[in-house]
Structure 1
Amino acid sequence: MLNWSTMTEAQILLFALVLLRMIAYVVSSAVFGSPLVNTPVKILLSLVLSMVIFPVVKVGNVDYSLISNEIIGLAVRELIVGLALGFLTRLFFFVVSMTGDLVSMSIGLSAAQLYNPMMGSQGGVIEQFYSAMATLVFLAINGHHMLISAIAQSYELVPVSSLALNFGPFAEIAVFGQVAFVMAIKMCAPVLVAILIANLAMGILGRAVPQINVLVTSMPVTIMLGMAVVFICLPLLIMEMNGVVEITASKLFDVMKHL
């Protein structure tokens, strides 16, 4: 049983390193790192999780008779690990955000921009809707438990150590960007196909009946059709979101195993 009141200098140093990784992870991760979560809450959550995990943290090659530059190196290492893992947890929301952007552009709502608190940037109204749905799905399948489990296991798979990191696995993130684009296309494919068919039909109608102003008529038709397909395909979208969560979780743990 750890006695917090009689911690040695080595234990204090180790706890500080654990806390650094935890803060970097919480601030950069999905859900916990949202701008909607106040900074004091993030710090308190990081502190509580660090205190819970610290007694069972696996320690690697750490020299406790450290000079200042080695301490800085250890701190930077923990910050990099925490930020990298936190970024990986956001990949699911990046895919959903990309899907919403593609749908917004296809139905002509890309000009309607709102602040998306989940991504911390401007986004279309469809992206806002998809982000809200993604958050609900993420919480419904206990995604927040996965976030805590991931950072807890990171101390076992990537122990606190003075050894250099292997940055090779981070190259896979760039490859995952291609996979993310493909998944986003799959998720918005029904809307894209419906809008394509509608545009073809309006083009044929415009040629058959020149008196109809297709440019004016097509806008409300496209928006109504797009919104109808979005709501009709919601069950399929939620199923795809579950699959994307599984893929991103697998990618997260693969990167941790090879760091």
Structure 2
Amino acid sequence: MIAPGFASVEAQLWIWIMAMIRPGAALMVAPVFGATSIPLQVRIILSAMIGIAAANSVDINLPDSTLISYSGFVFILGEVICGAAIGFALQIGYSAAFVAGEVISNTMGLGFASMSDPQSGASSPVIGSFLSIIAVLLLLAMDGHLMLIAIIVQSYEALPPGNALVSSRVIFNLVEFGGTLFSMGLIIALPVGAALIIVQLVMAMLARSAPQLNLFSVGIPVAVLAGIILLAMAAPVLADGMMRAMELGLEQSEVMAGG
């Protein structure tokens, strides 16, 4: 027999577990939190902390039937979609650094050089991995991780659990926002990429005027050296572009949290 003081413990535990679904889905797809280097136990603890804190601000009505039912499935699916949309919007802004790194790597002649990305664990160009590390540091410096947590908590007021129905208009805005990934990536890579194209044109004219010059043995080292120098010179501009892309991602996350 359960003591009278503990009669509602099981119901409260189920409420907390259901409140963990949305932040858990958001942290799984968001940058920094969703990195392969972050242990699963850490994400579970963070999801519990955010979910329990957010559950105190709204009333969570669990499905009348069991969770293994249609109403329970709809409840869980709505929470997963809402949380994943919030985290994915920020991920789009963050991934602009990868697009910029891909463009710069190909222009420098380093498209063949790849390394394991610490965020996703997949293979990516060396410049893309370098810019992704900078993007992580910038995101933490601008308190983007704290802003994301605040957006998740605020979403419980606009989209309470059990009624987390994201409108089709908001989903369309998220899909349309995906185009920002490529536009912002090209804007970030534009200063270095445009200068490297000029370097490639100069090397092409030298190879045309001096056919005996081995373009592969001279052009690739020159392009790599010019790229490194240009990256150092354009670092403030690249940082501003990446921060702007992530700010747009946070703004879109806030739109998704509003339903």
TM-score by length of 2: 0.89
Q: 1:169: how far off? A: 1.4
Structure 1 equivalent of residue 214 of structure 2: 213
Contact 1:10 1:64 survives alignment (8 Å): no
Aligned residue pairs: how many?
253
1:117-196 alignment to 2 at 5 Å? 117-162=118-163, 164-196=165-197
Q: Secondary structure at 1:114's aligned position in 2? A: strand
**Residue in 2 aligned with 1:253?**
254
Aligned 8 A contact 1:58 1:156 in 2:
no
SS at match of 1:90: helix
Task: Give 2:8's aligned residue.
Answer: 7
Deviation (angstroms), 1:12? 4.3
Distance 2:234 2:101 in 1: 13
Cα deviation, 1:64-123, whole Å, max 9, x if unaligned, reads: 533532112211211121122221221122111111111111111111111112133211
Q: Deviations over 1:162-221 (max 9, x none)?
A: 464423312222322222211111111112111111111112112222221223211111
Report 1:38-187 matches (<5 A): 38-57=39-58, 59=60, 62=61, 64-66=63-65, 68-162=69-163, 164-187=165-188
Q: Secondary structure at the match of 1:57?
A: coil
Q: CA deviation at 1:158?
A: 1.4
8 Å contact 2:63–2:75 — kept in the other structure? no
**Alpha-carbon distance in structure 2 between the residues aligned to 1:27 and 1:63:** 24
TM-score normalized by the length of structure 1: 0.89
Q: Is contact 1:58-1:155 (8 Å) kept? A: no
Deviation at 1:63, TM superposition (A): 6.5
SS of the aligned residue for 2:100 comes to: helix
Say whether the 8 Å CA contact 1:96–1:130 is kept in structure 2.
yes
RCO higher in structure (CA 8 A, sep ≥6): 2
Indicate the larger mover: 38-47 or 203-212.
203-212
Shift of the alpha carbon at 1:15?
Answer: 2.5
Percent of aligned pairs with the same residue?
Answer: 27
C-alpha separation between the residues in 2 aligned to 1:58 and 1:245?
32
Contact 2:114-2:124 at 8 Å conserved across structures: yes
Aligned to 1:56, what secondary structure does the other structure show? coil
Amino acid of the structure 1 residue aligned with 2:29: S
Cα distance in 2 for residues equivalent to 1:163 and 1:244:
27
On the 8 A contact 1:78/1:160 being kept in 2, the answer is yes
Deviation at 1:146, TM superposition (A): 0.8
After TM superposition, list the pairs within 5 Å mapping 1:18-57 onto structure 2: 18-57=19-58
RMSD: 2.0
Q: Structure 1 residues 41, 189: closer, same or farther in 2, change over 3 A?
A: same
- Please name the residue that 2:229 is paired with: 228
